[in-house]
Chains A and B, each alone.
Chain A
Amino acid sequence: MSRINGLFAALQAQGKKALIPYITAGDPQKEATVPMMHALVEAGADLIELGVPFSDPMADGPTIQLACERALAHNTSLKDVLAMVAEFRTTNATTPVVLMGYLNPVERMGYDEFAAAAVVAGVDGVLLVDLPPEEAVDVEDSFKSRELDMIYLIAPTTTDERIETIGKAGSGYVYYVSLKGVTGSKALDVDDVARNLDRIRKHVSIPVGVGFGISNGATAGAVAKVCDGVIVGSAIVNRIAANADNAELARQQVSELIAEMRTAMDQA
């Protein structure tokens, strides 16, 4: 069983939901990323989405745009990101890691070369924001033969018919984008998410994570009641940005947020 499937099965057995933080690799420095990943796990994270910085992050709000700019200021490349995962794996063999980003850096490396290197590094899944299943046929061939999970997005605007297609194409989990907007948006409507989750579950059998607009324990706890995983990105990246010159303080503040969310979700 893949690390991602194993995680969701184990959590389900315990009646718990997955807490999934996102950070941009190389933000603010390359050497800060692996210690931050360990801190996230220690504070209660179940799975890590590690952002691959891109020059043109079309689906991201200002917070993650700036994180990409900070990471690219010292040329954090896809190869660097894979090296970070490999380093993380030297002391953590259990926490799944999903790379999240845009297609072009992967396309430039080559699908096969990337997939092979990702598996060696210890990557479990990949989420490419600008790659819908219709365009992913070649990529999926490279990934599936190596048991890399392909995580797709579902949006409030996605039709039932497409939800079914995405549910079949994806593996590991699907990522439900809770609102029409970019990352770091403010208002998530829990009732609306609940209604859409009902709709999604009619067509999708794998776990459903929810992201966009979750920035504190209260929202995380409320959303956890209706989904399988809670994804939080910009709220963490904001704390990293605020402490760009003090990695220890950044880890401390991020850990506090993760712990708050963990507690709220486990009580939910």
Chain B
Amino acid sequence: MSTTPDNAHAAFMEANLPDARGHFGIHGGRFVSETLTAALDELQATYLKLRDDADFQKAFDSDLAHYVGRPSPLYYAERLSNHCGGARIFLKREDLNHTGAHKVNNTIGQALLAKFMGKKKIIAETGAGQHGVASATVAARFGLECKVFMGSTDVERQKLNVYRMKLLGAEVESVTSGTKTLKDAMNEAMRHWVTNVDDTFYIIGTAAGPHPYPMLVRDFQSIIGRELKEQSLEQLGRQPDALVACVGGGSNAIGMFYPYIKNPEVALYGVEAGGLGLDGDDHAAPLNKGRPGVLHGNRTYLMEDENGQIMGTHSISAGLDYPGVGPEHSWLKDVGRANYVAATDDEAIDAFHKLTRLEGIMPALESSHAVAYGMKLAKTMSSDKVIVVNLSGRGDKDIHTIAALDGVTA
């Protein structure tokens, strides 16, 4: 299990990760109570078979094209670039997907898996509500019964998304245990799954959790990076110099990074939620300030106290408000392939306003963290360089938060 820095790089270059048991270096794996092992084995076997199945891939590609609206554009943000001075900034427009974020790439894939496995019920956890909405959406699309677990604090601050899920026919279960946020919603979804494992499929929303979830979520989201490779060649005649994506659990980032992992000339930047600043405890930046531990079925960097208890986190963006991170990011950090940085609440809000005013694009507060760092990075690079920022979601859901900060009751 142990990996020294020396052999880590060699292992990285030849590895096709995760290994058979879901490990990315020391990270990942499957840390669950025994009842779930059989279900995860079944999911893994089904996925490995369907991954190379022509009918499955055809159904997935067809829905990505005609239901989600892919490929998403690669857009040159010229006025934003000129404002920053330095590298040219491009945006990968995942915000233009059906339901308004990258989340649907994964929920389509997992709902198809559920259908192929004959499961009629799906469950999902959600923080901001984006994954909940994307799950409720595909449940309607495929005629599945859907239950979404959401911390009671988030239910309160994301009322519109709760209503949206109900309109789509999903049942929203308010979770009142622990910190009443995303991590507790995930605990409760796991508990429900353990109890209803025979007929229920659990659609995890990020590239974390027990194996095989980090692998299959990454694979479904990798459409982002694969498209980007083609679009870069077409539009730029070459690949970008740097990719920037926000990281909560990290599914939009790993989807963008994964096809580029073995292109070392392309720099990768994951942007965590710096909250009120990395010096205090009010942030959600486990890759910057945490240490490896075990939560929600995988080993990964975590925000924990000296006794191994998981800490509450803070971010202006509910979607990044999570104490862990997908295990592949932890591995990319350990081997030095990706850089993990942070943007504070204030930097993200500033980036939200800049992109809105300069380009007429309102980014989600999650994605605003990536925009903030992309702007900072652009200033340090020359004008012949290209940065692509993953604009993972649109900001409609965050208008209330922004309005409240401006003292406007919308």
CB distance from B298 to the nearest CB of A (A): 10
Residue of A whose beta carbon sits closest to that of B306: A108
Evaluate contact between A78 and B187: CB separation under 8 angstroms.
no
- Chain A positions within 8 Å of B1 at CB level: 137-138
Report the contact-size class of chain B (Cβ under 8 Å from the partner): 35 or more
Is there contact, CB below 8 Å, between A78 and B177? Answer: no
Asked if A146 is an interface residue, CB under 8 A from chain B, the answer is no
Assess whether B308 is in contact with A180, with CB atoms less than 8 Å apart. no
In the assembled complex, A2 has its CB within 8 A of some CB on chain B: no
A46 to chain B, nearest CB (A): 24
Q: Contact at A182–B197, with CB atoms within 8 Å?
A: no
Residue in A57, A135, A166, A182 whose CB lies within 8 Å of B31: A135
Q: Which of B68-76, B162-170, B188-196, B227-235 makes up part of the contact surface?
A: B188-196
Instruction: Tell me the smallest distance from the CB of B302 to a CB of chain A, in Å.
Output: 8
Complex CA distance for A105 and B307, rounded to whole angstroms: 6
Binds B, one of A29-37, A58-66, A220-228: A58-66
Contact with A along B291-316 (1 / 0, CB 8 A): 00111110000101011111000000
Most central of A72, A106, A129, A132 by chain B CB within 10 Å: A132
With A59-B33, A134-B21, A157-B39 given, is the CB distance from A107 to B197 under 8 Å? no
Q: Is A247 an interface residue when CB atoms closer than 8 A count as contact?
A: no
B30 contacts which chain A residues (CB < 8 A)? Answer: 132, 134-135
CB proximity of B213 to chain A, nearest CB, Å: 14
Q: In the complex where A103-B294, A180-B198 touch, is A109 in contact with B33 (Cβ < 8 A)?
A: no
Please, which residues of chain B bring their CB within 8 A of the CB of A58? Answer: 32-33, 187, 190-191, 296
A104 interface hit (Cβ, 8 Å): yes
**Inter-subunit contact B34/A61 (CB<8 Å):** no
B178 located at the interface, meaning its Cβ lies under 8 Å from any Cβ of chain A in the complex = yes
Contact indicator A109/B34 (Cβ below 8 Å)? no
Closest chain B residue to A212 by CB distance? Answer: B35
Q: Is the CB of A180 within 8 A of B297?
A: no
A246 lies within 8 A of chain B by Cβ: no
Q: How many residues of A contact B (CB 8 A)?
A: 47
User: Hey, what's the 0/1 contact readout for A161-180 against B, CB within 8 Å counting as 1?
Assistant: 01000100000000001001
Q: Using an 8 Å CB-CB cutoff, how does the interface string of B60-71 with A read, 1 for contact, 0 for none?
A: 000000000000
A157 — which chain B residues lie within 8 A by C-beta? 34-39, 197
* B294, A156: Cβ atoms closer than 8 Å: no
Asked if A78 and B307 make an inter-chain contact with CB atoms under 8 angstroms apart, the answer reads: yes
For the complex formed, measure the closest distance between the CB of A165 and the CB atoms of chain B, giving whole angstroms: 11
Residues of A within 8 A of B191 (CB): 58-61, 182
Closest residue of chain A to B312 (Cβ to Cβ) is A55
Contact among B34, B36, B177, B309 with A105 in the assembled complex (CB-CB below 8 Å): B309
Interface residues of A in 47-81 (CB under 8 A from B): 54-62, 65, 69, 72, 75, 77-79
Q: Could you tell me if A152 and B310 are in contact, using CB atoms closer than 8 angstroms?
A: no
Distance in angstroms between the alpha carbons of A61 and B190 in the assembled complex: 11
- CA gap between A207 and B296 in the complex, in Å: 30
Contact indicator B307/A185 (Cβ below 8 Å): no
Q: Does B29 contact A (CB under 8 A)?
A: yes
Whether A56 lies near B197 (C-beta < 8 A) is no
What separation, in Å, do the CA atoms of A180 and B33 have in the docked complex? 11
Residue of A nearest to B197 (CB): A180
Query: Nearest Cβ distance between residue B29 and chain A, in whole angstroms?
Result: 5
Evaluate contact between A108 and B34: CB separation under 8 angstroms.
no
A213 to B240, alpha carbons, bound, how many Å? 58
Please state if A132 and B37 are interface contacts (CB–CB under 8 Å).
yes
Verify if B92 is at the interface (C-beta below 8 Å from A): no
Which residues, 1 to 56 on B, are CB-close (under 8 Å) to A?
1, 21, 29-39
Q: Decide yes or no: A55 and B178 within 8 Å by CB, A129-B33, A134-B30 being known contacts.
A: yes
Task: Say yes or no: is A6 at the interface (Cβ < 8 Å to chain B).
Answer: no
**CB-based contact B194/A159 at 8 Å:** no
| Complex-state Cα separation, A18 to B361, whole angstroms | 66
Q: Which residues of A contact B34 (CB under 8 A)?
A: 132, 152-155, 157-158, 166, 177
How many Å from the CB of A34 to the closest CB on chain B?
A: 20
Contacts of B147 in A (CB 8 A): none
Whether the Cβ atoms of A177 and B35 lie closer than 8 Å is yes
Q: List, in ascending order, chain B residues with CB within 8 A of A154's CB.
A: 34
CB distance from A51 to the nearest CB of B (A): 14
Which residue from chain B places its CB closest to the CB of A62 in the assembled complex?
A: B177
Nearest chain B residue, comparing its CB with the CB of A105: B308
Known contacts A104-B310, A134-B21, A155-B33, then 11 further A-B pairs from the complex at CB < 8 Å, ordered by chain A residue: A56-B184, A58-B190, A104-B293, A104-B309, A107-B294, A108-B307, A138-B1, A155-B38, A162-B37, A166-B34, A180-B35
Binding site for A on B (CB under 8 A): 1, 21, 29-39, 177-178, 183-184, 187, 190-191, 194-198, 293-297, 302, 304, 306-310
Q: Can you sample 22 A-B contacts with CB below 8 Å?
A: A56-B184, A56-B296, A58-B296, A59-B191, A60-B191, A62-B177, A72-B309, A77-B307, A79-B307, A102-B294, A104-B295, A104-B302, A105-B307, A106-B308, A132-B31, A132-B32, A155-B34, A158-B34, A159-B38, A162-B37, A181-B194, A182-B195
Which A residues contact B (CB, under 8 angstroms)? Answer: 54-62, 65, 69, 72, 75, 77-79, 102-109, 129-132, 134-135, 137-138, 152-159, 162, 166, 177, 180-182, 185
